[in-house]
């Protein structure tokens, strides 16, 4: 065999990685990965492309493209994809689980403290300062994502219509799917991969929606009488299976069902869950872990975490072999454009609604404006802002309280 052929064989056949090495890497990333999906993916690229050379840059971009065309948390799905590429099915499970586990444990510890000490001035002061910063972080994400999501006047119109309809109570899932289809069906040809992705998403979403809808209808009444661990699992399974876009869109789903429809959570508890998700590293979807613990203790945290992340493992396992076709599909790209525009609109609506619970006086309003200015003008790391909000909130709350 010539040197050229040896080189070709080496690049076409990925080098296998031990499960121990995979676990070590993703446990580390899950522990230190602050800053949201974009930061997580950048850290993964640095580790697996630059340092370890497990993947070429082109292969990494292909996997990233695949995560953008399937529902679920993008950075977690990237971890699962890399694990599958490097160590097969065991690697898929190990990489994804190890990336999720540190954040889930940290969030559970925060939830335990919140449930037990949440009414204490110290904790209230921390949340008093963190909540305005969270609003600023979400606004900064909206600004950044908007420049890439709203590519044409047509997509801007789609986003505006979705925002108005959602503000008046139209279901978030219907709006996401409708926006995707309106833009996607503008293409003349529908490729098989789009149909497969759509059918998988519809399959996962239909069953939980039907079951949860039937079980909750009779007890949608007040005081959280409908709460149950099975219903909690089905809700987060549905969310994990159909959620496109940024992790912040998760807030729209949670607020619509758990706060408005079923009244399992208060507006303030939802914002507290978001705050904890920002304070801690790892996937934003571990907000579900916090909510699960608040509603159902340790078992609730476990069930919510498994429910929201389980679809990501399934979708990656199914879509992994189809990555080249996904990247070349024009109709899938158009569908995603529509979904991204709708996702941005949902984020705008939920940010407006949550702002009312966070900006309660002049100090919190000033803190939000200052944080937004630092993020947009100087690109300060959001983790430092959250830490600063924690300290300022603790100091201010003691004086104001």
Model confidence pLDDT, tens digit, residues 220-246: 434 444 578 899 999 999 888 887 655
Backbone angles phi, psi at 391, to 5 degrees: -70, -45
- pLDDT for 11 equals 41
- pLDDT for 197 equals 52
Contact status, residue 315 vs residue 240, Cβ threshold 8 Å: no
Can you tell me whether residue 14 is helix, strand or coil?
A: coil
CA distance 72 to 80: 12
Quote the DSSP letter at residue 56. -
Contact status, residue 166 vs residue 346, Cβ threshold 8 Å: yes
Contact status, residue 286 vs residue 104, Cβ threshold 8 Å: yes
Quote the DSSP letter at residue 169. T
Could you give the angle at the alpha carbon of 397 between the alpha carbons of 392 and 401, nearest 5°? 165
- pLDDT for 213 equals 44
- pLDDT for 188 equals 42
- The ranges of the chain with pLDDT < 50 are 1-13, 120-121, 188-194, 207-225
CA distance 397 to 120: 11
For 183-203, write each residue's pLDDT tens digit. Answer: 877 654 434 444 555 555 555
Nearest to 308 by CA among 294, 290, 288: 288
Q: How many CA atoms lie within 13 A of 206 on its CB side?
A: 6
CA distance 173 to 129: 32
Q: Specify the pTM.
A: 0.64
Contact status, residue 146 vs residue 344, Cβ threshold 8 Å: yes
72-93: string of b/e by CB count within 10 Å (b at 16+)?
bbbbbbbbbbbbbbbbeeebbb
């Amino acid at each position: 065999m010539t040197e050229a052929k040896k080189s070709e064989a080496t690049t076409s056949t990925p080098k296998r990685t031990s499960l121990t090495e995979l676990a070590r890497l993703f446990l580390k990333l899950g522990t230190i990965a602050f800053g949201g999906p974009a930061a997580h993916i950048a850290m993964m690229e640095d580790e697996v492309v630059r340092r370890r050379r497990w993947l070429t840059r082109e292969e990494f971009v292909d996997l990233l493209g695949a995560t953008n065309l399937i529902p679920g948390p993008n950075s977690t799905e990237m971890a699962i994809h890399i694990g599958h590429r490097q160590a097969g099915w065991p690697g898929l499970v190990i990489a994804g689980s190890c990336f999720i586990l540190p954040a889930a444990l940290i969030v559970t510890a925060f939830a335990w403290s919140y449930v037990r000490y949440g009414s204490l001035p110290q904790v209230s002061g921390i949340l008093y300062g963190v909540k305005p910063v969270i609003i600023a972080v979400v606004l900064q994400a909206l600004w950044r994502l908007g420049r890439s999501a709203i590519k044409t006047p047509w997509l801007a119109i789609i986003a505006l219509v979705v925002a108005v309809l959602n503000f008046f109570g139209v279901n978030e899932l219907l709006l996401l799917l409708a926006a995707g289809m309106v833009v996607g069906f503008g293409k003349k040809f529908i490729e098989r991969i789009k149909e497969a992705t759509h059918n998988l998403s519809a399959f996962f979403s239909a069953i939980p929606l039907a079951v949860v809808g039937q079980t909750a209808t009779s007890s949608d009444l007040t005081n959280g009488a409908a709460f149950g661990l099975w219903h909690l699992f089905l809700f987060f399974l549905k969310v994990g299976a159909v959620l496109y876009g940024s992790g912040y869109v998760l807030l729209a789903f949670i607020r619509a069902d758990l706060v408005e429809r079923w009244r399992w959570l208060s507006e303030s508890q939802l914002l507290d869950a978001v705050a904890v998700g920002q304070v801690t590293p790892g996937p934003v979807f571990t907000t579900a872990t916090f909510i699960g613990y608040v509603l159902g203790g340790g078992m609730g945290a476990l069930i919510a975490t498994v429910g929201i992340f389980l679809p990501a493992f399934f979708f990656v396992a199914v879509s992994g072999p189809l990555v080249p076709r996904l990247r070349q599909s024009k109709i899938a790209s158009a569908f995603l454009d529509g979904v991204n525009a709708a996702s941005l609109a949902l984020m705008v609506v939920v940010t407006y609604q949550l702002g009312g619970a966070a900006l309660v006086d002049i100090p919190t309003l000033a803190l939000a404006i200052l944080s937004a200015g630092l993020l947009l003008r100087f690109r300060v790391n959001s983790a430092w802002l959250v830490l600063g909000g924690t300290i300022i909130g603790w100091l201010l709350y003691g004086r104001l309280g």
